[in-house]
Structure 1
């Protein structure tokens, strides 16, 4: 009788695996067990791995099918358990019928929650980068879904029709919003409702509201001085002619997000009257300008200097340079 109770308890608490497993979140590499030397290919034998850690080590991973990059998740905790016994980190549950202790790895633990969140955000950014470079796509307007063969024709359509955003009512796009990954269990709609300072009353007549609308072309500001242009390639030519800084040359080995972080980094350094290459700070912008010219420091520093998470965020609001990066043409 006790044996039957034990089996029922094990069946109700053991590792659950969805039939439609998210294999796209799993790397096709061997992953070492959390507590022993056994290795598993999670993409091929995830159920075997979960059964192993349950039967051999009494470990259960909650919502394992939703963990982005499970290999890195397991590797993180494996290193953690090398230095600190699992009993001191992971909470355990004891069944009265068997008096067996099981360790439950879930987002109830703050460290585990933050790890899952960061892995999910990193995965979303990697998918974005892949889709940005993917050429096998259809060029259609995100608002009205009209298709165009030429990228520039599509951009002109979106500009004239003010279709510079996706249709907010189309929930198909929700999984692509990075904001949906920033705060667990919160969608962009929930976050938007938290602050309605900029909301427009529904009683306003849309035609009257925009009757005097005159669209102005975006002003793109030089990274090193106050020069402005409406064409991204013209401002790049200015930087090369006036500052000896070729944006296309210095960023040829950077991916899109690294270019974004470089721009935000340079903006912040120049705003603080600090050399973006050697980080030397000056009292005035004129002194900084003399230093940049005299020392020939109109160049980028080592990648580690600006390839930091803090530079994902714009230094200046509505920095036109950032959303026109893809329009920069090679020399």
Structure 2
């Protein structure tokens, strides 16, 4: 069976999605790029989702400099092993690594792929999700970045044989060093990109202080909190919680949009949600065009009333 590389940026849902996708293409092999010990810490999780091998391309310099050393190490491994395809996360770092690898290997590249067939045909949503296209790399192997929440991860335990990969970092890859890293503490709410339920607020919330109504309803449902670009640009909520084409793409079981008009930029980041509920005072808001259930009303009345009914049902 042909080998398919999955670049694992940690033990997370997107990595598991990529491993699941890789199983339909060949035999998945996870590639871990990082400091010594990184691969061993996530090996068991990668095994659970089908990694037959785990290539540990580890070196202190991979985390000491920006993405150039990681791209260099990945390009060397691809040249040595000749996988049938390479999948990377469609994150900022994943896309930059992919771009550098494509240039180094003179290989084609497709980004934000939601599906990939055995013959290398990829599915992509373009023009802010308005159009779905089929694409293929015309030079080299399928080198793609996979969009988060494109499929449901399926466990399929495998051996995950740990393979140490020698890494040599050139001086050219050390031009930009990382002087400091700050890891933001995680709150009690689910991660936005991986949550099963997301409650988002838009410009209609009115202010940062009033965003508490969104947070309270989200906490009642055990949901993540999101926001539209209009809300984040207005300073109502931090930009890291933005849902949309230029923010986080989500595909939860339930997405509740409160005070969000439904601009195409926002819809591109949430329209694959399984069930969409919209609350808006404007009955002509575009969000109602894609909503499964719509409530025309004041979110400051609708959400508290819905919350009361949910609490009653739990008594």
Q: Shorter-chain TM-score category?
A: under 0.3
Greater C-alpha Rg? 1
Q: Greater strand percent: which structure?
A: 2
TM-score by length of 1: 0.19
TM-score by length of 2: 0.20
Q: Greater helix percent: which structure?
A: 1
- Larger relative contact order, structure 1 or 2 (CA cutoff 8 Å, min sep 6): 2
